[in-house]
A and B are shown apart, each in its own frame.
Chain A
Amino acid sequence: MIQLRHISKHYPVGFGKNEILKDVDLTIFEGEFVSIMGPSGSGKSTLLHILGLLEEPSSGDYLFEGELVNKMNEKKRTQLHRGSIGFVFQAYHLIDELTVYENIETPLLYKNIPGAERKSRVADVLDRFNMVAKKDLFPNQLSGGQQQLVGIARAIVAEPRVILADEPTGNLHSDQARVIMQLFKHLNETDKITIIQVTHSEQNAAFGHRVIEIRDGKIQ
């Protein structure tokens, strides 16, 4: 499903350059649950950003479902964001001005899904996450774990093929973290959503099928 070939990424620093990723080759199959691990500064977040089309590699090819991503224009990328990729952030990144319901609804709005269907899909997700009672609250009225649940709900409501999670439990305590990870596992097993997460925690990684160790920009 996802294929990286000779991906490198570097930033200019002064007269030289700071290499973050060096010649990374990686293949991720549909339905996998992959954890990317490594120490701080090893390049794991950059790798995830490249996978999520937030950043462009300096060189190398990225194929998403057999299509070359680095040749895509802005419009096509937006299409991928709309339909195929869901994001979960460490800091949740909910939109403060919107209620829980509206936050979850937003991706559907961008997908131009008609109102009735939108309603039912958001209702489904709320139901599934046991958050119906909280749908009219604003993010700052929720605890961190609840906010991350909304973040995940928002990521899956558009029925993506892949969820990219950047330390999804980094700001949560262990009980909340377990709930989130179980949710991921469930999504992976029953909904067949491919999940790629960046994490520091061995425990979290244990929920997945495969661990990719990254160190100094290279996959070990």
Chain B
Amino acid sequence: MFRNYLKIAWRNLWRRKLFTVINVLGLAVGLTCVAFLVLCVQQMVVKDKFHKNLPNLYLLQTDSDNEKNVFPLLEVMLKDFPQVVNGSRVNHWDAPWISYNDKTISEEISYVDTGFLNVFTYPLKYGNTATALKDKSSIVLSAPVAEKLFGSQNPLGKVVTFADKRRFIVSAVMQPIPANASIQPKVLLWNKNLTDNKDFSPMADWYNCFTSSYVLLRPGADVAAIEKQLKKIVATRFAEGAKDRVMHLLPYREYAKKYGALNFDFYVYGLTCIAVFILLLVAINLVNLNMAVSFTRVQEVAVRKVLGSGRRAILMQFFTEVGLMVCIALLLAWSMAFIMLPVLNEQLNGLQITAAMLYQPSFIGIWLLTGALLTLVAGGYPAAYISALKLANAVKGRLQAAPQKAYLRQGLIIAQFVIAVVFIAGSLIMQQQVRYMKQGDVRFNKEQVLTVKLDLDFMDTAQARSGINHLITQLQQQAAVSNVSTSQCVPGQFWENYNTFVADDNSSKELGMRQTGIDNGFVPTYGIRILQGRNFSADMALDKEAVLINETAMKNLGWISIEGKSIHAKGGKESLRVIGVTDDYHYRSLAGSIEPLIHFFAGKTAMQPSYNYLSISIKPQQAAPVIALLKKAFSQMPAYREFTYSFADEVFNKQYKTIEGILTLIRFFTIVSVLIACAGIFALVALAAQQRTREIGIRKVLGASIVSLVSLLSKDLLKLVGIAILIAAPLAWWAMQRWLQDFAYRITISWWLLVGAGMATLAIALLTVSVQAIKAALMNPVKALKTE
């Protein structure tokens, strides 16, 4: 019996080739997207389950939201807390250059305690857990680091050298760590290396909070009791000013959710939402097309019933047909996903979706479930409707109340186009906002400024210092150069460095300000306007305790003039003279508002510690000789990092990379959703034309014009698209208005943009529909009438 179903299903699909191709292709494209989204989500959901100790693993948390802790605490716990079996701290201090033979790479070091590999059970490729971190000279490498330095050979016992001449013996290599594990150490060294460091040891007191501490408890340990015990330690051991802290044990299972680097919920739920939307779109097509087709099959079903077919047999028949289509689409989508995987990985570097993920049982399970669900939904309604038909009418090919039954179909088409229009409007508005931010007036000169990074890790620091200072003098003498500056940051790359300052007047007003260091060349180089007072002078003696603030800072301090004003850092004693007010230039992307900013002075333009950027303002069209000069100068100063330069607008626009990535993604989904929706109405019109061949023929014979026939076929569908636009426009407006709230500088959504999105949709729909309608209308009427 089933073979019979399959045979008939196949013949039916074959007979309506156009319908089948559109259905299957639409499904396949949609499902390919869904497959990618599922894989992305699977990759993003953090997997820490491979840690054997997960149930008893805890993070020592300070107060309710600080994942860091004081350095000495864990040692005390390990000694005095019987319920604590093991534990390890993780500190990040430096990312030195590590060499083996001619290979050199820079990696961040995780300084850990000897118990680290017992607490976190990262499986080892070489070496063993017991001896991996036994002394100061042991180094444990992650698989990718080992591969970079040693290739495929076993590096156990080999010696690596750091840039500062320290040498370590490779004692173990970890297996590759799942890409979505919460902690991904690159290189492990024993903490003793840190505590012996003169710069580090003074910080490791009972006040500074910078260590991540993880503890392994005995199974069934009483967490509340441990926290109570911790309270006592805080009271007795912690430094003054830290005694109000409260220690908590956060189960490591919940770590990723709370402190994960990724905005987990946003991405996972966002992508899942898009996947569901696309699934909805293809499901609607499937339901609609099947319903439309099923109306042509009323008679067949009736005859079957008269021949003795039960209801179940007819349902099975319908499900087989849809199921067959879904199966073909699933297979097609699976292969498309397989083929397009490299492209996707290029776009989403870091996620590392592998082909193996397409084979894994959980993915195949989701895949089959999706297929079953689609079949059930798309086959179910038409089958249920048609198998319940009144026989006497059905045999004659008549439907009861067919027009009313079309409401669902119409509703679904509207829903599809609402989604499509919202996508179109959304991507247009997003694009406008991005363009607005990129083209907005940033109130500094970003076109004619060249920036060079100075933190290249020079091999000979002293030589580099004099070399760069010499270069600066050379640059200043160039005709093409108008100004030169060295600074801590450049606009678009400002550090998250804040401090609280207090006004030295009767108000004693406090204000949190972002702080940065500049020289006397920064303001002229970037063409920043000085609103009051003056810029720093080249004379360090004159401006040693002087600062520049921006206009927002002045306003927030409640000042109208800076005449005779000064401030001091909260807790500090030194009084800082405010010598000038800069215009509110955009030191960060236009997504954020301009916050109070304070500039410190480190002296005239020269190489300074932590001054990482050299900025050169160049006269228009004269960059080439300057770049040549830079290249020559830097080639004489060997460094670990390569010399690079970029224009200030490139640096600044880097901030929009994330949002531009999202925009690309949204654009892609817009195209997919429009394609799917159009495929749907295309097939519906084709079907209507086919069903109404006779009617069209008769009308033509009676003298109907082509235009009237085209409108006859397409009018109803276009009306639905119109309704969808009316629903979608306010929806898109509302959603995008909310999205725009996150931007300090934003466009106002103009009505013509929404109208434009609507018109574009209508135009696409019209084109789709009229191709078929015109074809039907141009047909020879004699031929049409003969077919009946």
- Give the interface of A toward B (CB within 8 A): 46, 49, 52-55, 74-75, 78-79, 81-83, 87, 89, 93-98, 102, 106-107, 109-112, 154, 158
Contacts and interface: CB of A to CB of B under 8 A. Distances in A.
Contact of A110 (B7, B308, B390, B392): B308
Nearest to A138: B11
Interface in B385-405: 390-392, 395
8 contacts: A46-B392, A54-B395, A87-B306, A87-B307, A96-B300, A102-B7, A106-B307, A110-B308
B303 interface: yes
A83 B307 CA distance: 9
A78 B309 contact: yes
Given A49-B392, A54-B391, A109-B4, A95 B308 contact: no
A110 B309 contact: yes
Contacts of A93: 299, 302-303, 395
B304 interface: yes
B307 A55 contact: no
Interface in B1-45: 1, 4, 7-8, 11-12, 15
Contacts of B11: 97-98
Contacts of A54: 306, 391-392, 395
A52 B304 CA distance: 14
B308 A107 contact: yes
Contacts of A98: 8, 11
A164 to B, nearest CB: 9
Interface string B282-312: 0000000000000000011011111111110
A95 B4 contact: no
Nearest to A99: B11
Given A54-B391, A55-B392, A93-B395, A106 B300 contact: no
B317 to A, nearest CB: 11
A53 B15 CA distance: 32
A82 B392 contact: no
Interface string B308-344: 1111010000000000000000000000000000000
B489 to A, nearest CB: 73
In this complex, the member of A46, A98, A107, A110 whose beta carbon has the largest number of chain B beta carbons within 10 angstroms is A110
A78 B306 contact: no
Given A54-B306, A78-B310, A106-B307, A97 B8 contact: yes
Interface of B: 1, 4, 7-8, 11-12, 15, 299-300, 302-311, 313, 390-392, 395
B12 A97 contact: yes
A36 to B, nearest CB: 16
Nearest to B4: A109
Nearest to A55: B392
A184 B307 CA distance: 19
A74 B7 CA distance: 27
B323 to A, nearest CB: 17
Nearest 5 CB-CB pairs, A to B?
A82-B308, A110-B308, A81-B308, A54-B391, A55-B392
A75 B305 CA distance: 11
Contacts of A87: 306-307
B311 A89 contact: no
Given A74-B311, A81-B306, A107-B307, A55 B391 contact: yes
Nearest to A45: B392
Nearest to A105: B4
A78 B11 CA distance: 26
In this complex, the member of A46, A52, A112 whose beta carbon has the largest number of chain B beta carbons within 10 angstroms is A52
Given A55-B391, A55-B392, A106 B310 contact: no
A110 B12 CA distance: 20
B306 A52 contact: yes
Contacts of A95: 300, 303-304
B308 A111 contact: yes
B392 A158 contact: no
Nearest to A96: B300
Contacts of B392: 46, 49, 54-55
A83 B310 CA distance: 13
A107 to B, nearest CB: 5
Nearest to A48: B392
Given A78-B308, A81-B305, A110 B15 contact: no
Nearest to A80: B308
In this complex, the member of B7, B303, B390 whose beta carbon has the largest number of chain A beta carbons within 10 angstroms is B303
A78 B308 CA distance: 5
Contacts of B304: 95, 106, 110
A190 to B, nearest CB: 23
A78 B391 CA distance: 12
Given A95-B300, A95-B303, A97-B8, A89 B308 contact: no
Contacts of B8: 97-98
Contact of A158 (B12, B15, B308): B308
Nearest to B309: A110
Contacts of A75: 310
Contacts of B306: 52, 54, 81, 87
A172 B11 CA distance: 29
Contacts of A109: 1, 4
Nearest to B300: A95
Nearest to B10: A97
A55 B392 CA distance: 6
A46 B393 CA distance: 11
Contacts of B1: 109, 112
In this complex, the member of A52, A81, A89, A154 whose beta carbon has the largest number of chain B beta carbons within 10 angstroms is A81
Contacts of A97: 8, 11-12, 15, 300
A117 B121 CA distance: 67
A51 B155 CA distance: 91
Contacts of B7: 102
B311 A110 contact: no
A53 B308 CA distance: 11
Contacts of B391: 49, 53-55
Contacts of A158: 308
B303 to A, nearest CB: 5
Contacts of B395: 54, 89, 93
Contacts of B302: 93
A53 B307 CA distance: 12
Nearest to A158: B308
Nearest to A46: B392
A49 B311 CA distance: 19
Contacts of B311: 74, 78
B387 to A, nearest CB: 10
B736 to A, nearest CB: 49
Nearest to B5: A109
A151 to B, nearest CB: 10
A49 B390 CA distance: 12
A102 B11 CA distance: 13
Nearest to B305: A81
Contacts of B307: 81-82, 87, 106-107, 110, 154
A46 B8 CA distance: 32
A88 B390 CA distance: 18
B299 A110 contact: no
A126 B255 CA distance: 75
Nearest to B307: A107
Contacts of A53: 391
A78 to B, nearest CB: 5
A94 B311 CA distance: 19
Nearest to A97: B11
A158 B304 CA distance: 14
A74 B309 CA distance: 11
B307 to A, nearest CB: 5
A81 B313 CA distance: 14
B783 to A, nearest CB: 15
Given A102-B7, A106-B309, 4 more contacts: A52-B306, A78-B309, A106-B304, A110-B309
B17 to A, nearest CB: 14
A107 B390 CA distance: 20
A175 B4 CA distance: 36
